[in-house]
Amino acid sequence: MAEQKTLLRALAGEKLDTPPVWMMRQAGRYLPEYRATRAQAGDFLSLCYNPDLAAEVTLQPIRRYGFDAAILFADILLVPQALGADLWFVTGEGPRLSTITDQAGFDALKGVDDIHETLSPIYETVKILSRELPQETTLIGFAGAPWTVATYMIAGRGTKDQGPAHALKDENRPVFEALLDRITAATIEYLAAQIDAGAEVVKIFDSWAGSLKGDDFTKYALEPAKQIIAALKARYPHIPVIAFPREAGDGYIGFAKATGADCVAIDNSVDSDWAAANVQVDGCVQGNLAPHHMVTGGQDLIDETRRIVKAFKNGPHIFNLGHGITPDADPENVHVMLEAIRG
């Protein structure tokens, strides 16, 4: 059955008449059934660590829309928590973490071998999904990229310009690089455990890659991705990897070849025709409808969806948004998008 899954075919480099489709954050607050399940869990982290409920919210958009892939419901900040950082969520404001800003803070972190006790419920969620997903639906596991995860661990929260992480990078390079190395090693083991549990594809989310410029982009976005992918490919040669260095701009060019990624996901700050000419030449591209279309809908949604499909029609393509679907999206607009792709 795996050979027939359209998402795996696209990742293997096959050009398909109709691209496979899924959405980042497809299990999320825009769906009433998600909100009901989250209320049942009590809070966001309780939902992440409850395998039955996490599997349920992963399955909800598959039942409703029939996407070609389901992505594990979890959060990129579970790895810092597994490494010993304190993690909590403030309603309406997002995540908060204890901070790593010096050698003492780094020395207090746990070793990579110790992460699995905290993360074992996530692996159980993957096992449930591998049993319960429809046969034609591909299961995607994921983790945050080291740079993006580090920005949260250094600042203790999300920031507009990732200033605290850039400051530590410039002022205490040894601690900064040691932190990235620890996250990189943990990410390899975390994704490997997801694959062992049944993930058929893994994705590396580097949400803040765009704030790294020049040599910093190469050293702290590209090189960690290359290291993670090489380690995974050594163990699991047939498991595809999607890399998402968001807002990389020209950094998208050659990223797949440089890192060994099977697919590069692109955000909506770059034009799809440009990406077809410059990124898709190296293989599969995923993207890149602007998420605001899922709020506004209408003919613009249909036209833009069709334009993106047309732009990438000459090579392997996975249709997705350029970033996650937002809580104010209209669930009916997802049906409109799917009809424009498949209709």
Does residue 288 have a cis peptide bond before it, meaning omega lies within 30 degrees of 0? yes
Length of the chain: 343
Q: Which residue of the set 9, 49, 75, 182 is catalytic?
A: 75
Q: Is 152 considered catalytic here?
A: yes
Q: Which residue of the set 34, 49, 65, 152 is catalytic?
A: 152
Q: Is 25 considered catalytic here?
A: yes
Q: What is the signed CA dihedral for 237, 12, 278, 287, rounded to 10 degrees?
A: -100
Number of H helices, E strands in the chain: 17, 9
Q: Which residue of the set 35, 38, 96, 157 is catalytic?
A: 38
CB 32 within 8 A of CB 51: no
142 backbone dihedrals φ, ψ, rounded to 5°:
-160, 165
Q: Is 267 considered catalytic here?
A: no
**β-pair type (94-97, 87-90):** antiparallel
Collapsing DSSP states into helix, strand and coil, what is residue 179?
Answer: helix
- Rounded Cα distance, 78 and 36, in Å: 23
- Rounded Cα distance, 292 and 322, in Å: 10
The 10 Å Cβ neighbour count of residue 165 is 25
Q: Which residue of the set 9, 25, 182, 246 is catalytic?
A: 25
Q: Which residue of the set 29, 35, 64, 157 is catalytic?
A: 29
CA 341: distance to chain centroid? 22
Active site residues: 25, 29, 38, 75, 152
